[in-house]
Amino acid sequence: MEDLYIVVTIGLGSALNLPVLSAGIATQLARYPRFQSIQVADGGSEGGNRRWARVKVNVDDHIIVPALDPVAVEADADQVVEDYAASLVTLPMDASRPLWEFHFLDFPTSEATSTVVLRVHHSLGDGVSLMTLVFASARSVADPTRLPAMPKQPERTAAIYMPRPRSAGAMAFLGWVWSYFVLAWNTMVDVAFFAATVLFLRDPKTSFSCSDDDTVFSPRRRFVHLSLSLDDVKFIKNAINCTVNDVLVGATSAALSRYYFRKPGNTITEKICLRSVLPVNLRATTSLQKYVNLIESGKSGDVGWGNQLGYIILPFHVETHDDPLVYVRKAKKTLDRKKRSLEMVFTCKISELFLKLFGMKAGAFIFGHMFANTSMVFSNVIGPAEPIELCGHPITFIAPGAYGVPQSLVVHYTSYCDTIKVTLSIDDEIFPDYSQLLDDFAESFRHIKDAASGL
């Protein structure tokens, strides 16, 4: 995971006040031990175990204001931001300093007055811990004296973390026992497929696949995004009686299918199955509120920073359907099946066990082949439910992406206020027409919404 980074593009609703932002970054990040630390190897050996070592942070080393061509900015500011974010993939970070940096682009685009691009190494945090950073560092636009209101956390719909309540009666008892039998069976099957994926089971070669079999990522990367209406997604959810995640997975499957079958070079006409690595947060659903409270009380060291993730191998069916809602219904069926499994817990514990028993090379083997033998990464994070400001600068959108995995496609959904931002991290050698794929996401959502309206 050494080369795995997160890139977050943040749109601001005002021009940059660099001194205020710099002071805010220095004040906020100084509270987080991991943002003041570097990774060092025990005994000075590259192959030794890694540990965190605290260092003195000079904020100026982590703030970058690039000199960009004003003619290019005037011609197409959106393209300049996209090109600049893509260029970060080829620029190494100095491992002698904490691996995070802010890039400030002070010119207007179609969605923002100015833009901040945050690049951070994935070892500093996963989606939940970084969203905790956003909540603890930002303030509500409606009332700048208070923290943003916490988003409503999703309810668990299956017995993943707690036992099912036992009801009275013989039939109820049999149902209770059967639920645990199903849980054990699904877990056993899923863990077996996970092990097979790590060892030998590889997705079929398609136009979504990388050009070689190496686990090394491609330096050619683009980060593109579009906004969807959260109300539209909830409308589809209520029409079909499913969850927001079901809608997002179904729409992704529809977009990939739309893109695949339109390209003339794709000769496979029957349905194909592409598998995605889906990271799952293993913290309690109340952890976001708990962590923000700890930070506000001065106990940021007690926050669960870093990565607390399990992994699911999630199939995406690339096929054509006359009814767009079939994609969502199939996604619901797949996710309901995954909820009746402890796959994410076992994959996390197995990876940790191998890392402790056999060292970093064994851990690298598991992660490298898990990513290399699947076709894409899929993730989503719940963001602020109301407009927020960062150091006095109102935020218009948040678009996180990632690079450093061998897959040619990473799909990430993030909610903010009444929108959901779809961010695609794309290998533009595999997807030279990546803007068309982004349009396919928009079209697929539109067709699914129209079909849901017909209900």
| Each residue's pLDDT tens digit, 10-64 | 999 999 999 999 999 988 876 788 889 998 887 666 656 778 899 999 999 999 9
> Quick one: average pLDDT of 262-284?
80
In the prediction, which pLDDT does 159 show? 40
Average predicted confidence (pLDDT) for the chain? 88
Q: Please state, in angstroms and rounded to a whole number, the distance separating the CA atoms of residues 218 and 211.
A: 10
Q: Which residue type, as a one-letter code, is found at position 325?
A: L
409-418: pLDDT as tens digits: 999 999 999 9
pLDDT at 161 over 50: no
196-244: pLDDT as tens digits: 999 999 998 888 876 555 555 567 899 999 999 999 999 999 999 999 9
Q: Which residues are catalytic?
A: 122
In the prediction, which pLDDT does 109 show? 97
The pLDDT-based confidence of 160 (bands split at 50, 70, 90) is very low
Burial grade of 352 (CB within 10 A; 0-12, 13-18, 19 or more): exposed
> Quick one: average pLDDT of 294-308?
77
The pLDDT-based confidence of 66 (bands split at 50, 70, 90) is very high
pLDDT at 298 over 80: no
Q: Please state, in angstroms and rounded to a whole number, the distance separating the CA atoms of residues 81 and 68.
A: 10
The pLDDT-based confidence of 355 (bands split at 50, 70, 90) is confident
List of domains in the chain = 170-221+228-379+423-453 (3.30.559)
pLDDT at 89 over 60: yes
Q: Please state, in angstroms and rounded to a whole number, the distance separating the CA atoms of residues 109 and 333.
A: 40
Neighbours of 262 (CB within 10 A): 10
In the prediction, which pLDDT does 213 show? 53
| Residue 69 in tokens | 């061509």
Share of the chain above pLDDT 90, in %: 57
pTM: 0.91
In the prediction, which pLDDT does 166 show? 61
Contact assessment for residue 325 and residue 174, using Cβ atoms and an 8 Å cutoff: no
Q: Using the structure block, give the residue that is written with the tokens 């790590």.
A: 198
Q: Please state, in angstroms and rounded to a whole number, the distance separating the CA atoms of residues 444 and 89.
A: 29
103-119: pLDDT as tens digits: 999 999 999 999 999 99
